[in-house]
Amino acid sequence: MKKLLLLIPILIGCSSPKEKSQYDKLLEYEGNYEYVDNTTLDIIASELDTTLYAIVDEAKYPLKYIAIDSFENSTGSPVIFERNQSNQILAYKADGQKFGLITKDISKMEVFPRKALYHNPDDYTYQRPEQKDDGITTGFLDNEIKNSEPLLDMVKETIKGNYPDVHSILIYKNEKLVLEEYFYGYDKNTMHQLRSAGKCLKGGILGIAIDKGFIKSEKDALLPYFSSKYPEIANIDNRKKQITVEDFLMYRHGMDCENDNPESKGSELAMMQSDDWVKHTLDLPMVAEPGEFSSYCTGCSLTINSLVEVATDQDIEDFAKQHLFKPLGISNYKWTFEPNKSSMGTFSQLYITPRDLLKMAIMYKNDGQWNGQQIISKDWITKTFDIEQGDYGYFWQHKYFVIDGKQYNSYLATGNGGQKINIWPELDMITIFTGGNYNSYALYGKSTPPNEMIPKYILKAIE
């Protein structure tokens, strides 16, 4: 999911003066400001890296310093702050629009991984994760992973800031949660946005709807389910008529839909500019036979969510609460499904705690069971993980690492910013990361920290 497309979406390069005096000057810009679509954003100055950030939906985006009162966003457009006659910041202008300062009184986001330990990371001491009444068994790291030193080093390097904006790390080994660490002010009770990592769970919700008979099979043709809601669908041909529910689950839709391709009619940006994102997706022209190859398309997951609503005649949030969240004992979450422009700020994503996210991963790892209760059928889980190497399953992906000639396989759910759920069946392990490195490849030309941390520390410890 991408945000801030108009003003502060992504930044090509990030630099600013490093003098302490410059940080003091950046403090002048802090505050809560008006933003697009009658929303607001916070602007904060970071003491850690002397950079100005815009905070939208708990995600931070850097602004490149140019000169006093002048910054730059990712498109190269200026972001200019205005002052009143008393030399106080009044507003900022960006892309021809003016946005006023609402208040200087804001709750400032934590910019240090762990401020108390930042200059003394070696003072970190490991603690066994808290044993709570939530169905998750905890254990000691050394009892389940004999070579734990790489994992302790990983935590210390995160505290140092060498893996910026990693918000949580959880390791579940041999049916026990043995490492649970939080950073940047996050803790076990803080809900975190999942971005696209939440799609895998929504694939599971569809599986429940099929298990309960609301939908006959994932092999069913997709379009007939939407005939009443959308009597007229554009670009109908024989290929589109053959699209199955499963084709959307595996991104083998055959449509002109490729998220990050600006030339694609189904790109994420093009979809967001439409009034009805599901209708926009179903209207896309075909470019290949369905089932021929995979093409990552956010419209597919939104359409699957809508399919659950159409088939069950129930809001998907209510259906999921009854059949997924409540059986798992999950109540601390937030989700509103509105596949239209009203969701441009949140993209209908799920917010949940990392520990509750672990519950869902444990359920998938244990063939759809949670504490003896069958939440999703074993048959659906088997189909979900019947993934060709490097390809997509039912919104999951086959992800592997090769270290010293040995291949480590996992089932991956991933989201923008460093949200990573990896289930490692051969290692009896689950790893979970949440983070705030949004649009990291476009910003810095590199992937998010977990892609380096997993092979360098976690798999090294297991090896």
User: Sign (positive/negative) of CA torsion 139, 142, 144, 147?
Assistant: positive
Over residues 51-92, the pLDDT tens digits come to 999 998 888 889 999 999 999 976 678 999 999 999 999 999
Residue 444 Cα to chain centre, angstroms:
18
Q: What pLDDT is recorded for position 441?
A: 64
Tokens representing residue 319 in the block: 């259906």
Which pairing describes strands 429-435 and 419-424: parallel, antiparallel, or unpaired? antiparallel
The pLDDT value recorded for residue 389 is 82
Task: Record the tokens describing residue 68, joined without a space.
Answer: 């006093």
pLDDT recorded at residue 14: 39
pLDDT value of residue 20: 53
201 CB-near residues (< 8 Å, 6+ apart): 324, 350, 360, 413
pLDDT digits (tens, 9 = 90+) for 410-453: 999 999 999 999 999 999 999 999 999 988 766 556 789 999 99
The pLDDT value recorded for residue 346 is 83
265-275 residue pLDDT tens:
999 999 999 99
Mean pLDDT of 246-251: 98
pLDDT (tens digit, 9 = 90+) per residue, 301-330? 999 999 999 999 999 999 999 999 999 999
pLDDT at 388: 85
Higher pLDDT, 5 or 152: 152
Percent residues over pLDDT 70 in the chain: 94
Say if residue 460's pLDDT is above 60: yes
Q: Which is more confidently placed, 289 or 391? A: 289
Q: Over the stretch 334-370, which tens digit does the pLDDT of each residue have?
A: 999 999 998 987 889 999 999 999 999 999 999 999 9
Best CA proximity match to 52, nearest among 36, 29, 32: 29
Give whole-number Cα distances, 301 to 153, 200, 262, 462, in Å. Answer: 37, 9, 19, 34
Point out the least confidently predicted range of 48-57, 210-219, 377-386, 420-429: 48-57
Q: What is the pLDDT of residue 303?
A: 98
Q: Is the pLDDT of residue 130 over 80?
A: yes
**Averaged pLDDT, 223-233:** 98
- Separation between Cα atoms, residue 215 and residue 333, nearest integer Å: 27
pLDDT of 418 reads: 97
Q: What is the pTM of this model?
A: 0.93
Residue 128 pLDDT > 70, yes or no?
yes
37 pLDDT tier (thresholds 50, 70, 90): confident
Q: Confidence class of residue 331 from pLDDT cuts 50, 70 and 90?
A: very high
Q: How far apart are CA 219 and CA 366, in angstroms?
A: 25
Question: How far, in Å, are 207, 214, 244, 319, 321 from residue 311 at the CA level?
Answer: 12, 6, 15, 11, 16
CA nearest neighbour of 355 among 196, 182, 202, 201: 182
Mean pLDDT for all residues in the chain: 93
Q: pLDDT at position 11, please?
A: 32
Write the CB contacts of 333 (distance below 8 Å, at least 6 apart in sequence).
191, 325, 350, 351, 352, 353, 356
3-state SS record for the chain: CCCCCCCCCCCCCCCCCCCHHHHHHHHHHCEEEECHHHCEEEEEEECCCCEEEEEECCEEEEEEEEECCEEECCCCCEEEEEECCCCCEEEEEECCEEEEEEECCCCCCCCCCCHHHCCCHHHCCCCCCCCCCCCCCECCHHHHCCCCHHHHHHHHHHHHCCCCCEEEEEEEECCEEEEEEECCCCCCCCCEECHHHHHHHHHHHHHHHHHCCCCCCCCCECHHHHCCCCCCCCCCCHHHHCCEHHHHHCCCCCECCCCCCCCCCCCHHHHHCCCEHHHHHHCCCECCCCCCCCCCCHHHHHHHHHHHHHHHCCCHHHHHHHHHHCCCCCCCEEECCCCEHHHCCCCCCEEECHHHHHHHHHHHHCCCEECCEECCCHHHHHHHCCCCCCCECCCCEEEEEEECCEEEEEEEEEECECEEEEEEHHHCEEEEEEECECCHHHHHCCCCCHHHHHHHHHHHHHC
